[in-house]
Structure 1
Amino acid sequence: MNNPSDGVLTLHLGLPKTASTWLQKSVFPAMGGIDYLGHMSWKSIRIPPRNRKTRLDKIFRMHPRVWDKFGDFIFRELIDGRSSFERGSVLISEEKIILPRFFAESATAEDGLDFLLAEHLERLRIHAQKAGFDYLRLLVLVRRQDHWLASRYAQSSAFRADGSQNDFESAVKYLIGKGFDLHGFRLQYDRLYRILSEVVGAGGVTFLPYEEVRYDRERFLESLSSGVGGRLTSLPIDEDTMHHSNVRSKSNTSWQLRKRSRKVRVPKLIRPIFGGKRRLDLSRPSEANQIVLSETLSNQIREAYYESNQKLAALINRDLKGLGYY
């Protein structure tokens, strides 16, 4: 347990689709005892020598040597150029750092490699210590894999060539079948917990099941406050947070698909025909309006991650079976 007078940098690094927006907009800013520096997805970080702008999650997809070359610049941008902080807790949030890039997102061969994530975090820890922080702590929210996959697919559906029920089921069956060792393993939460623990120690990692927001708010609040070193007497819960999984959820088993996104560049010579527009939006609704997570597919997904979730339950002392993980 860290001493209250210690300087602690806490990084909330995922997962998306676990009430991240609610945490970033309503919960973290309301916490006392911490300096919340905001949501890093909206922050451009400049990297020398050309001051190229990028985001923190994209830096974590580069080779870790980027920290060896430009770590001082990156960290200074990350903490708003401040040279020092008062003793206490500082929190930053970027939920896409550990995003499994399954569906429409562009991926690289290095995505998901354990040692790269660990090396990035180790270098971040070193630069945090150079800046005066005694400890780096990590906060992760996880979610039942069957619900997470359905929610993420719905979010990515605008960029799928054939966003539909059949496409959803085919993509998921590949992930938990032939593609498990290449892609699907990235939702093995016990594996992720061990990677993070190797960098900061088990005491520096807080893993919280997203479902506790709805079913055990008191325990969630206590664990969250302890994990980030902040104070919050109650959770700012609204009805939407309590009764819906996320903005695309229609029920516990169905999710709304997004409008298919397609924009094309208009050649300069013919722009006057289109009112001077540089790009035309040819987006259109998907042929299907929603996807449904069937009981059969749900069971297949939970079976694929059964052993991993059992191990995680023991590691974080949570009744994940009672929350439907297995």
Structure 2
Amino acid sequence: MKTDVRPPRVKMSRHESPSQAACATSPSADPTRQGARDGTHPSGRPSEPILYLHIGLPKAASSYLHGHVFPQLMPGQYLMPGARNAKLPAYRYRPNRYGVRRFSDAFQRNPGFWGDHGDAFLRQFLSPFLAGGHPEQSVLISEEAITRLNHFGIRAMPDAFERGRLRDNLAAFDQCARRMGFARTRILLMIRRQDLLLASSYVQLSRKIIGASQQDFERRVERLISGGTVGPGHTFYPMEYAKLHECLTSVLPAQDVCFLPIESLAGAFDEFTHTIRRFLNAKSVATELSRRPSNTRSMGRNRWALRPLLAFKSPKGALEITIPPALTGRDSVIELRPDMAENIRRHYAEGNRQVADAITADLGAYGYY
């Protein structure tokens, strides 16, 4: 694939169907820019362009942000290289010795990639927003797969983040962005209480688990949280929020890293919208946002429907064959029992207190500790 293929900007609205959204992200989509030619503060004062990176943790409202927040607050300034777009030729980087093809790969592989390919790699994704090789406005990149690691041991993927590798990759990303003309990089994450995150993640992955069941779910969670730490001192999983925050703020100033609890969507929506508008310097201050995401697998309080077992999926995802639960003997539902929920919360409580202090948020009010 040639590196000068120019990926489109993602334009979605709450009224678009999935097929309409897919059309908006095709390589032939009209790249006409809709945003201002430079970043502006909500007050209207001009500011230098900023590169925002939304790191989408699994099952932490990423679909809600993609559908109801980012396109409204950053119209014409929003790029989503992951999800279905990662399979399009325009979103795949050329073959290289580091094995980086998807945008998210560049944060999980050898940091040497950035020295050899970083500028060309980032320019490929941001080309619709550049004029003469420099940004005309602030841009938001939303990527769900940067932190998508296999904490349940279901398939061959990295077990945890190596702290130095993630730090070096983020630092190199920031340096490339500055060379391109962005004034700075800012990172946004939505976090979710770990007991609910683990249950929802298991359900999401259940289509790949032959023996998915209540017993299997509890066994895998117990294996994950057993012992004093999840991994050795130099590694961590993304739901170890204190370690993740420490890693990010070792690269960027603390004011350029924003952690928002997903629970605030229901418990403090006005505060959530105020915070995210200010962090993104959103000009669309009059835009009304949808109030809360939905979970299509939820069956009520702390109960989720498992996904059918996947038997076959075509390379482009156009055809999928699943096996009905009656033929597999798998459970159809899992439940997050109170004792298991308490064990998970206890395991992550100290780290959650640390990150709450760092971001000055009352995570205890949402049950994080």
Shorter-normalised TM range: 0.7 to 0.9
SS across alignment from 2:69: helix
TM-superposition CA deviations, 1:42-85 (whole Å, max 9, x none): 142323569x8821112222211111111122111121353222
In the alignment, which residue of structure 1 is the partner of 2:29?
none
Q: CA deviation at 1:249?
A: 1.7
SS across alignment from 2:174: helix
User: Aligned match of 2:135 in 73, 85, 95?
Assistant: 85
Report the residue type matching 2:364 in the other structure.
K
In the alignment, which residue of structure 2 is the partner of 1:269?
none
Q: How many pairs does the alignment contain?
A: 305
Alpha-carbon distance between aligned partners in 2 of 1:173 and 1:280, rounded to the nearest angstrom = 32
**Contact kept? 1:33, 1:230, Cα under 8 Å:** no
SS across alignment from 2:77: strand
In the alignment, which residue of structure 1 is the partner of 2:82?
40
In the alignment, which residue of structure 1 is the partner of 2:6?
none
Alpha-carbon distance between aligned partners in 1 of 2:339 and 2:236, rounded to the nearest angstrom = 20
Distance 1:259 1:310, change over 3 A: same
**Contact kept? 1:249, 1:255, Cα under 8 Å:** yes
**1:61 and 2:105 aligned:** no
Distance 1:74 1:290, change over 3 A: same
In the alignment, which residue of structure 1 is the partner of 2:350?
307
Q: How does 1:1-326 map to 2 (within 5 A)?
A: 4-32=46-74, 35-41=77-83, 42-43=85-86, 44-47=91-94, 54-80=101-127, 82=130, 83-86=133-136, 88-103=137-152, 104-108=154-158, 111-178=160-227, 180-182=229-231, 185-186=236-237, 187-231=239-283, 232-233=285-286, 235-237=288-290, 241=292, 244=294, 246-263=295-312, 281=321, 283-285=323-325, 287-326=330-369
TM-superposition CA deviations, 1:279-315 (whole Å, max 9, x none): 9946333621111001000000000011011111111
Gaps of 5+ in 2: 1-40
Q: CA deviation at 1:185?
A: 4.5
Gaps of 5+ in 1: 266-278
Distance 1:30 1:160, change over 3 A: same
**Contact kept? 2:194, 2:344, Cα under 8 Å:** yes
Alpha-carbon distance between aligned partners in 2 of 1:280 and 1:201, rounded to the nearest angstrom = 44
Alpha-carbon distance between aligned partners in 2 of 1:152 and 1:200, rounded to the nearest angstrom = 29
RMSD: 2.6
**Contact kept? 1:139, 1:228, Cα under 8 Å:** no
Alpha-carbon distance between aligned partners in 2 of 1:260 and 1:33, rounded to the nearest angstrom = 38
Q: TM-score, normalised by structure 2?
A: 0.76
Alpha-carbon distance between aligned partners in 2 of 1:225 and 1:122, rounded to the nearest angstrom = 25
Alpha-carbon distance between aligned partners in 2 of 1:159 and 1:153, rounded to the nearest angstrom = 10
SS across alignment from 1:206: strand
Q: CA deviation at 1:124?
A: 0.7
Q: Percent identity?
A: 31
Report the residue type matching 1:9 in the other structure.
L
In the alignment, which residue of structure 2 is the partner of 1:272?
none
